[in-house]
Structure 1
Amino acid sequence: MASASIGTGEWLFGPAISAQYGGTLLWLASVSIMVQVVYNLEVMRYALYCGEPIHVGMCRLPPAPWFWITGFVVLEFSNIWPFNASNAAVPLAAAMLGHLPGQGSTRFLGVQMTESGLVKVLGYAVLLGSFVPLIFGGKIYRMIERIMTVKLVVVLAFLTFVAVFMTSRHSGLEVLQGFLRFGEVPLRAQSVIEGRHFTLQERAESTSYTVRGTVEKGGPLVTEFRVEREGMAASYASLGGVPAELRGIADRLIARARAISARGGFFVEDARADAMVRLEGRLRPDHTWALEQITVTDDTGVRSYTRIEDLPASLVGRARNLVELQGVDRANLIRYWREQGRLPRLDWAMLAAFAAIAGAGGLTNSLFSNYARDKGWGMGALVGAIPSAVGGRTIALSHVGRVFPVNRESLVRWQGWMRHIRRDQVLWALCCVLGMGMPCMLSLEYIRNAPVSGNRVAALVADGLAARHPEFGQLLWLLTLFCSFLVLAPGQILAGDQIARRWTDILWTGSKWAQRLPQEQVKSIYYSILACYGVWGAITLWFFDPLQIATISAVLMNVALGMTSLLTLVVNRRLLPPELRPGSIAQLGLLACALFSLGICGVVLGTR
C-alpha cells in the first residue's frame, strides 16, 4: 500500500496548493497522515482478529446490516468520481498536443474537437483501460500490487533525481518547514505577477475584478476572470463567457498583466486596512526575488522605498514575507481568527481535498483491512480472497470470518501481528511524506504562482520544468508527463477495485441472497459492481472537468473518513475481546481523525 501513497493528492493537490500558497500549509498533510495511521492500524486490528474487512464488522452493529449498508451507500458517493482517469488524460493530451491543454482545437482520429474535448475522450480511454488488469490477472490484489510497485519505483526515482539535482535548497527547506508549521496559514497578496504567471486584481468602490492566467507563446491564456460584489461572486473560466458589459474591464486587466509580465520580474500588490504595499523587482537566476522598489499607500499619502528596513515597523515583517515567500505572508490561524473574526480567504475546498488525499483518504483507508486479509495476515490467511474474472486460480472467499481463542499462546502471536502492521504503517507514513514533499518541492521550484485550472494542473510541473531548462526541455517534458500518467492511471485501477471490493465484502456477508451463492462465485458480484461503476464514471467524465471531479470527491472523502473513524472505534470496543481492544491512545487517535476530517468539511461549508 506504500505505492498508493503517491497518487492524486500528492501529484495534483499538493503541487496546486504549493503553487498558490507556498509550503505553509503542508502541516495539514502532516496531521492528516498521522491520524490516518491510527485509523489504518485500527481497521487492520479488526481484520487480524477475524479475517473480515472493517465494513463487515460495522454491519454487525445494531440495529441491522441494512441500516449500515444504506449509510455506506451515502458515504460511497465520495469515492465514485473517476478523478484519476480524468486527470491521467491531461498528461496524455499534453504529450499529443505538445503543450498544456487550453482553449484551442485539434484533430484526433480524423475528428475535429476542442482540446478540452480531447481530454474527455482520453479520460474515457483511461477509464476503460483501468478495468483490464482487474479482469485478467489471477488474484486481483497481486496484480494491483505489481502495478503499484512499478509505479512507486519509477516515480520515486524520477522525483528523487529532480529533487536532488534540479531543485534549490530553498525549496526543499520550505517544504520541510511546512510539514512542521502547525497552525500557520498563508495570506496571499491580491495581485502577484511572477514571470509569465499572473494574478491581477483591481477594485472599483465595492467591486473587485481579478484575472488569472499565463502568458504563453500565442498570447495570454486566461484561466479565470472573477468579479466579487457585496459578498457575491461570479467566475468565468474563459473570456468567451464574460458578459459584454465586463469584457472591457477584463481586456484592460489582461493588457496590464501582460505589460507587467513582459518586464520579466515580479510585481505584488497587497492591500489591507492599514496600508497597500506594492513590491517590484527582478528574478535572480535561481528564481528567488531581488527587491528593487517598494511603494506604500495609506491615509498619509504615497511613499517609495528601496529597502525593507526603511519601512515603518508595522510593515517590515509583512513586506519581508511577501518577498521571501514570493507573494505570500504568514499568520497564526487562531490569532487571525481572533483579530479578524473570520477565517482567511483561502480556497478551502481545495485545502479540504488536499487534507483528505494526503495519505489515502476517505473510504480508501478502510481497505487496509482488506489489504491485511488478502496478504494473509492474522486470521486473513484462513478466509480466502477475491479472484479475477479471467486467468485466475479457483479461489474461494468465506462468507464469514474466523476467530481464535484468546490465551497466552495466541496473545504472543497477536503481539507479533500487531508489531508487523505497525512496521508496515511506519513505512506507509514515510512514503506518504516523501510522496507529498517531493512533488511540492518541484511545484515551489517550477510553477510557483502559476494559476491552477481544471485541464492543466496534472501537467503544470512538466511545463515548468521544460520552460526552465530549455536545453533538455523536450526530454524533461516527456519524462514528467510520463510520470504524471504513471501516478494517476494506476490510481484509477485501485479506485475501481476498492469500490467493487468493498461492496463485494459487504454484500457477501450481509446479504442473504449472496450468502446462498457458492464461495467460488464471489467474483460475479465483484464484476457486476465494477460494471456499474464504469457506467457512472463514463457519465461523470462528460459533465465535469478533471480538477472539479477530484475536488468534489476529495472534499466528500473527509466526511466518509470521519464517520467511519467513529464506527471503527465502536466496532473495536464492542466486537473484539477485551485483551485485543485498542488502548486509550489509539481510541483518542480515532476521535482525532474524526474531528479533523469532519471539522475541515465544516470549514468548507462555513466559508462558502
Structure 2
Amino acid sequence: MSPESTGNGAGFEAPHIGSQDMPRWDTGELIDAPKFTSRNWFALLGPGLIMGGSAIGGGEWLLGPKVTGVYGAGLLWLATLSILGQVLYNIEISRYTLYTGEPIFTGKFRLMPGPKFWVVAYLLFDFGSVFPYLAANAAVPMGTLIKGGVVPDPANVDSDWYLMKGLAYLVFIGALIPLLFGGKIYRSLKAVMTFKLVVVFGFLLFLAFGYSKAQTWTEIATGFVSFGNVPVLRGEDANGNGKLDEGEDWDDDKRLDFVEPSLGLVFDTDNDGKKDASDVNNDGEPDPMVNVKRDGKVLRWPDLDGDSLPDTVLPFDTTGDGQSDLDVPLDRDEDGKLDEFVDVDGDEYRDGRNVDSLWSMMFGGANISDIDFTMIGFIAGLAAIAGSGGLSNTPTSNYTRDQGWGMGHHVGAIPSAIGGHDIELSHSGTVFEVTEESLPRWKAWYKHVARDQLAVWLPSCFVGIALPAMLSIQFLSFAEADQGDKWTMSVMTAQGVENAVAESGEGLGKFCWFMTIFCGFLVLAPTMSSSADGIIRRWVDAFWTASAKLREMDPKHIKVVYLRVLIAYSIFGLIMLSLPPADLISYATMFFNIALGISCWHTVAINTTLLPKPLRPRLFIRVALIVAGGYFFMLGTLSVLQQTGLLVKITG
C-alpha cells in the first residue's frame, strides 16, 4: 500500500456510493501511465499475458479439436463472438480497477442490495469453476507417454484407473506450487505462462508452416467469420440426383453418404428419470422397445416390427424411392450391445453430420428441422471455454491491480505464502479526484489496458483455437474425430502428426509425436495453476474488503488468508478428482456462460453507477457489453437444457 494513499487526499473526500456495508474508499493521486516503446514492451505486458496463456486451455485443446474434427472449421464463429465479448468484458472490468484499485468482484459487492446478497449469488454462479477438470485431463497425455503411446483406459483397466488418478493428483498438487512461492503470485504465473506460450506456440507454428496445407488455413479463417452456421444432420445428395457431385463429399470418403440414424436412448417414457426409448426414424416419437438381458444387465432394444423380439437389422432406403433395399445390422461388431448408430456403409463413422447456415434455413430452402440439437450443448461448451470462460476472466482486474496499474499503485497485491513478506494489500480501494490534470492520465491508463488486451490476449485466444483446430483438420480423419472420446482428443492426433512428419525423417516424426502429446500436457497443467489462483483470488479479494472481521486484520496478513483458502481448495479438489473427467468438465462448464452473461450486465451497472461520469463507458460500449451478456446467457441456457435432457423434449 503506497504512502501516497490518504484518507482525504488534498481536501478531496472519496464518495461512499452503494452499499454502506462496504468501507469508504481512500483517496490518492493517479500516477502517470508508462510509455510503451520498442525497448520496454515486454516489461509492460500485463494481465493479457497471463490470461492469454490461460486461454489456451481446456476449451481449445479438449473440445475444439472434437468440434473441428467432426464439422471442420464451420462452427468457429461461435468462438469468435465469445472471444470478442470477453475482450470487451476484460477491458471494462479493468476500467473499474483503474479508478478504485479494487478488483471487479469487490465492485459487485458495493452495489445494492449489498455484499450478503451478492456473496450467495456469485457462489452459485461460480460453482463450476471449482472443479479441477484440467488436472484430470492433463493426466491423459502423461499416462499415454508412460504407457508408450497407448491411451489409458481407466474405465476398463484397473491399473489404468490407479495410474490416471495418481497422475491427476500429481498434476493438481504441482499446479498449486507456483501459488506458494515467488513474492507476488502474479509474477510466478507470468513466468509459467510465458514458458507455456513459447513452447506450445513454437511447436504448433512449426507444424503449421511445415506440414499443413493452405486450404486448411483458409477453412479455419473462413470458419471464424461464418456467422450463423449450425450443425445439421443431412445426406450428401444435396440436389437429389442420386450421384456424388462436386462439393457434396463432406467427409472426403468418395461415397454418397446418407443420414445414419442414432440408436441412442432419447426418451423417458415412464418418467422414472432414465431414458428408455430411441427415435430411429427421427419422427419425434419413441420407438417400440423391448428388454434384452446381457451379462446380467438389462438393455433397451428397438422392436420396430412389433414382434416383441429385439430387431437384429433395420430396413434402410438407400435410393430415396421410399422403398427399403438394404438390411443394416444393429450390432455390427456382435458384442451383444446396440451400436451407437445405424452404420449403413460399415465405416464406423456416423454419416450425415454437416453444417448449414441459419440464414438459408430462414430465407432459403433448407429445413430448420435438420439442426442436430444433440450437439448444441457440446458446441456451447466450446464457446463457454473459448478464451477464458465463465468467471475465469474476472482475475484480469485482480492482475491489473497486482501489476500496480492505475490506482492499483496505491493498494498493494496478494503475496505468495513464501517469499512475499514485504507485500501488503489494503482493505479498501483508493480513488482519485477527476480534474483537468488527472483525466489525461486516466485516458492513458485505459489505453494501456486496452492495448494489453487487444494486442496480447485477443490474438492469443484466436491463435489458441486456430492451431489445435489445424491439428484436428489436418491430421485427423472425420471417422477418428467422431469416434474419439473428447477427453483423449489431445493425444489422438499425435499418430497423424507422426505419420505426416515421418516423411522428413523417422526420428523427427517420433519427436513430433512426443511433442504433440507433451503440448497437450503443457496446455492443460499450467492453466490449472491460473484457474486455481483465479477462483481463490477473486473470493479472497472480495472478502478482504467486504468482511468486517477480515478488515480488522493487518494488511500484511492477506497472504495468511490466501494460504488458508488455498488449503481448503486443495482438499476439495483432491476429493473431486475421484469423479470421472467427463463428469468434471460437464459440471464445470454447465453454468459458465450463464455466469459470464450475468457478470457482463453487472459490470455495466457498476461502471455506470460507481464511477464518476467522465470515466464511465460510452453508450456504444454499454450496449455492446449488454448484447455480449445476452449471447453468453443464451449459450449457457442451451447448454443447461441439453445436459439436463430438456432440449430434446423441447425440440421434439
Question: Aligned Cα RMSD in Å?
Answer: 3.4
Going by fraction, where is helix more abundant, 1 or 2?
1
Same amino acid, percent of matched pairs: 36
Cα shift at 1:189: 5.6
Cα shift at 1:601: 1.9
SS of the residue 1:412 aligns to? helix
Aligned residue type for 1:478:
F
Listed one character per residue, the Cα deviations across residues 511-562 of structure 1 (whole Å, up to 9, x for unaligned) are 01100110011111111111121122112211222x4322331231101101
Aligned residue type for 1:560:
A
Listed one character per residue, the Cα deviations across residues 282-314 of structure 1 (whole Å, up to 9, x for unaligned) are xxxxxxxxxxxxx643337879xxxxxxxxxxx
In structure 1, C-alpha distance between the alignment counterparts of 2:585 and 2:288, rounded to whole Å: 22
Structure 1, unaligned runs of 5 or more? 107-111, 211-225, 248-254, 257-270, 277-294, 304-325
Q: Which residue of 2 aligns with 1:330?
A: 355
Q: Which residue of 1 aligns with 2:573?
A: 537
In structure 2, C-alpha distance between the alignment counterparts of 1:99 and 1:549, rounded to whole Å: 25
Q: For 2:612, which of 571, 577, 580 is the aligned residue?
A: 577
Q: For 1:444, which of 454, 470, 473 is the aligned residue?
A: 473
Q: How does 1:19-168 map to 2 (within 5 A)?
A: 19-103=69-153, 113-168=158-213
Q: How does 1:556-575 map to 2 (within 5 A)?
A: 556-575=591-610
Cα shift at 1:243: 4.8
> Mean Cα displacement is larger for which, 596-605 or 381-390?
596-605
1:474 aligns with 2:510: yes
1:396 aligns with 2:396: no
Distance 1:153 1:240, change over 3 A: farther
Q: Which residue of 1 aligns with 2:558?
A: 522
TM-score, normalised by the number of residues in structure 2? 0.73
Distance 1:70 1:242, change over 3 A: same
Q: How many residues align?
A: 518
SS of the residue 1:137 aligns to? coil
Q: For 1:387, which of 415, 422, 429 is the aligned residue?
A: 415
In structure 2, C-alpha distance between the alignment counterparts of 1:241 and 1:138, rounded to whole Å: 59
1:463 aligns with 2:495: yes
Q: Indicate if the aligned counterparts of 1:39 and 1:589 stay in contact, CA closer than 8 A.
A: no
Q: Indicate if the aligned counterparts of 1:384 and 1:396 stay in contact, CA closer than 8 A.
A: yes
Distance 1:116 1:194, change over 3 A: farther
Listed one character per residue, the Cα deviations across residues 330-374 of structure 1 (whole Å, up to 9, x for unaligned) are 322255478435843342222111111111111111111112111
Q: How does 1:336-347 map to 2 (within 5 A)?
A: 336=361, 339-340=367-368, 343-347=371-375
Q: How does 1:23-422 map to 2 (within 5 A)?
A: 23-103=73-153, 113-188=158-233, 208=263, 228-229=278-279, 230-231=285-286, 243=298, 296-299=319-322, 328-336=353-361, 339-340=367-368, 343-422=371-450
1:590 aligns with 2:625: yes
TM-score, normalised by the number of residues in structure 1? 0.78
Larger Rg: 2
Q: Indicate if the aligned counterparts of 2:401 and 2:407 stay in contact, CA closer than 8 A.
A: yes
Q: For 1:435, which of 457, 464, 470 is the aligned residue?
A: 464
In structure 2, C-alpha distance between the alignment counterparts of 1:79 and 1:144, rounded to whole Å: 18
Aligned residue type for 1:176:
A
In structure 2, C-alpha distance between the alignment counterparts of 1:201 and 1:104, rounded to whole Å: 33
Cα shift at 1:72: 1.4
Q: Indicate if the aligned counterparts of 1:101 and 1:455 stay in contact, CA closer than 8 A.
A: no
In structure 2, C-alpha distance between the alignment counterparts of 1:422 and 1:588, rounded to whole Å: 18
Aligned residue type for 2:537:
R
In structure 2, C-alpha distance between the alignment counterparts of 1:575 and 1:243, rounded to whole Å: 61
In structure 1, C-alpha distance between the alignment counterparts of 2:101 and 2:176, rounded to whole Å: 27
Listed one character per residue, the Cα deviations across residues 59-108 of structure 1 (whole Å, up to 9, x for unaligned) are 011112111111111112020110110111110001011234244799xx
Distance 1:65 1:243, change over 3 A: same
In structure 2, C-alpha distance between the alignment counterparts of 1:527 and 1:154, rounded to whole Å: 30
Q: Indicate if the aligned counterparts of 1:139 and 1:393 stay in contact, CA closer than 8 A.
A: no
In structure 2, C-alpha distance between the alignment counterparts of 1:59 and 1:28, rounded to whole Å: 31
Listed one character per residue, the Cα deviations across residues 212-236 of structure 1 (whole Å, up to 9, x for unaligned) are xxxxxxxxxxxxxx973445999xx
SS of the residue 2:356 aligns to? strand
In structure 2, C-alpha distance between the alignment counterparts of 1:355 and 1:241, rounded to whole Å: 41
SS of the residue 1:185 aligns to? strand
Distance 1:301 1:497, change over 3 A: closer
Distance 1:188 1:119, change over 3 A: farther
In structure 1, C-alpha distance between the alignment counterparts of 2:164 and 2:219, rounded to whole Å: 33
Distance 1:104 1:346, change over 3 A: closer
Distance 1:55 1:174, change over 3 A: same
Q: Indicate if the aligned counterparts of 2:62 and 2:490 stay in contact, CA closer than 8 A.
A: yes
Listed one character per residue, the Cα deviations across residues 261-296 of structure 1 (whole Å, up to 9, x for unaligned) are xxxxxxxxxx9xxx96xxxxxxxxxxxxxxxxxx64
SS of the residue 1:24 aligns to? coil
Aligned residue type for 2:497:
L
Aligned residue type for 2:632:
S
Q: Which residue of 1 aligns with 2:647?
A: 607
In structure 2, C-alpha distance between the alignment counterparts of 1:190 and 1:543, rounded to whole Å: 38
Cα shift at 1:507: 0.7
Distance 1:520 1:245, change over 3 A: closer
SS of the residue 2:431 aligns to? coil
Distance 1:28 1:105, change over 3 A: closer
SS of the residue 1:347 aligns to? helix
Distance 1:396 1:437, change over 3 A: same
In structure 1, C-alpha distance between the alignment counterparts of 2:68 and 2:235, rounded to whole Å: 17
Q: Indicate if the aligned counterparts of 2:594 and 2:635 stay in contact, CA closer than 8 A.
A: no
Q: Indicate if the aligned counterparts of 2:233 and 2:370 stay in contact, CA closer than 8 A.
A: no
Aligned residue type for 1:431:
S
Q: How does 1:498-517 map to 2 (within 5 A)?
A: 498-517=534-553
Distance 1:508 1:241, change over 3 A: farther
In structure 1, C-alpha distance between the alignment counterparts of 2:214 and 2:287, rounded to whole Å: 42
Q: Which residue of 1 aligns with 2:25?
A: none
Listed one character per residue, the Cα deviations across residues 180-207 of structure 1 (whole Å, up to 9, x for unaligned) are 1000123256899889xxx99866xxx8
In structure 2, C-alpha distance between the alignment counterparts of 1:332 and 1:240, rounded to whole Å: 45
SS of the residue 1:132 aligns to? helix
